[in-house]
Amino acid sequence: MKIIPYGICCLVLAAACGKSPAKQTTTPPADTIAVAGKAKVWVTTGNQVKLLQPQKDIDITTGASSAAAIINIDFTKKLQEIDGFGAALTGSSAYVINKLNSTQRQQLLQDLFDPQQGIGISYLRLTMGASDFSLADFTYDDLPAGQTDPGLTHFSIEKDKADVLPVLKAIKALAPNLQLMATPWSAPAWMKDNGKLAGGRLKPEWNATYANYFVKYLQAMQQEGITINTITPQNEPLFEAKYPSMYMEAGMQAAFIRDHLGPAFQKNKLNTGIIVYDHNWNHPEYPINILNDAQAKQYITGSAFHAYAGQVSAMTQVHAQHPDKGLYFTEISGGGWATDFASNLDWNMSNLFIGAMNNWSKITLLWNLALDSNSGPRNGGCQDCRGVVTIASGGTITHNVEYYVIGHLSKFVRPGAFRVTMTGSAIPGLESVAFLNKDNSKVLVVLNREEGAKTFAVTDGTHRYTYSLEGRSVATFVW
């Protein structure tokens, strides 16, 4: 007997009964892809074809997962608050900027400090007195050998009025919320055991006077309309150089802050933060030892680091011991020893911007904001350092690789943003960091360290987008 399949039988019977067969559907259950918005993207490539260049907007979708490797971001889990990104307005930087004619100067400052027309630098470091990038050696209370000034009656910031203050005031007019850190390279020579600005140590009998030196500086700057947000007691305290410098080991710095500087700030109602160390990653025990002193710690805002030795992970070591105190990355310079754009883009982004942020830093600052085409003016020290921009004698301005690495964060990650948690599988060759701004805009910075392009998907759990990033390149996404 021939067996008729059930489905055919039903069709035959339906026809026999004068009924039409039920209509069959071929549409699968709904799992539709819907466009929920757009992400903007800016890219810099190692071959310099794209330099912080806006790209075509990317569709942000819902409803379907991507087969690409995924970067998962949880914007509800906030980490450290971000204060800003920038460089140092050294005496040399202020001098070469101030030499420009008014049109050139205004255009440069807009390029540097305007977040719409430029890169929106939001944090600067100042030198209290001379550094190795000043026109000459000086402090704010210099005296002939053999003389002292315990009352600081000769204290004056007059030398800053030639270049630093005019340029700083022009910057503040463009970026009124700019934050400032100030750092001395040396106490006045008469306070030191060698009687010189180069090297030596602060004599203990001048600790209280030196604390008052900081107070007078902050008050003098305030009278000029300039608020200093943070100070460090000493630049590179473990390095005695042939230019202005001063040795200050951890115990000395702890005692200075605990017994003199902190109480002096408190007495004078100064809210300026005190940030310790301000030297290389290779000695995290220095700030840890100071912060272990509970009496000193009450006056301290955090710890600062440079990148001339050690690894960026040192900042996380300090965070693990003292998570209630901030971390600050405050100095590194590019220079003639490293001229390959792609390698500099990679190293700076990996270590100083993505790296420092992922190791709890609240800021990333580079060294000289601007230098001339001879890497100066110099006052000893580095002979071939490179500024964020180079200003030639005729006023021609070159935006160096440092300009673009700063810009990939400073333009988009604004003060008051928070770094947020990222989870999921690591993608070989890619490094990334994500932020949530105060206006709830979201920022992701991704570095591709490999030669070939990398395709990846970004998701916050409900929304996602996919992107292919060229090799040796960095991208900033904003949505």
d(CA 358, CA 282): 18
d(CA 388, CA 398): 9
**E strand residue ranges, 167-246:** 179-184, 230-231
Q: Is 423 exposed, middle or buried (0-12, 13-18, 19+ CB in 10 A)?
A: exposed
Q: Please say if 450 is a catalytic residue.
A: no
Residue 248 CB coordination number (10 Å): 24
Strand, helix or coil for residue 270: coil
d(CA 445, CA 41): 10
Residues in the chain: 479
Tokens, residue 114: 């305007």
Q: How is residue 351 annotated by DSSP?
A: I
Neighbouring-strand partners of residue 71: 458
Q: Please say if 331 is a catalytic residue.
A: yes
Q: How is residue 198 annotated by DSSP?
A: B
Contacts of residue 336, Cβ cutoff 8 Å, sequence gap at least 6: 375, 384, 386
d(CA 338, CA 413): 27
Residue 267 CB coordination number (10 Å): 11
In 122-237, alpha helices (H) = 164-174, 207-223
Of the residues 205, 236, 249, 450, only one is catalytic, namely 236
d(CA 343, CA 349): 10
Contact 127, 181 (CB under 8 A): no
Phi, psi (5° rounding) for residue 208?
Answer: -65, -40
Determine the longest span between alpha carbons in the chain, in angstroms. 126
Tell me how far apart the terminal alpha carbons of the chain are, to the nearest angstrom: 69
d(CA 294, CA 417): 29
Neighbouring-strand partners of residue 87: 124
Neighbouring-strand partners of residue 37: 60
Q: Which residue has the tokens 């990104």?
A: 85
Pairing relationship of beta strands 84-89 and 361-368 according to DSSP bridges: parallel
Strand, helix or coil for residue 366: strand
d(CA 376, CA 390): 10
Of the residues 158, 224, 285, 331, only one is catalytic, namely 331
d(CA 237, CA 277): 7
Catalytic residues: 236, 331
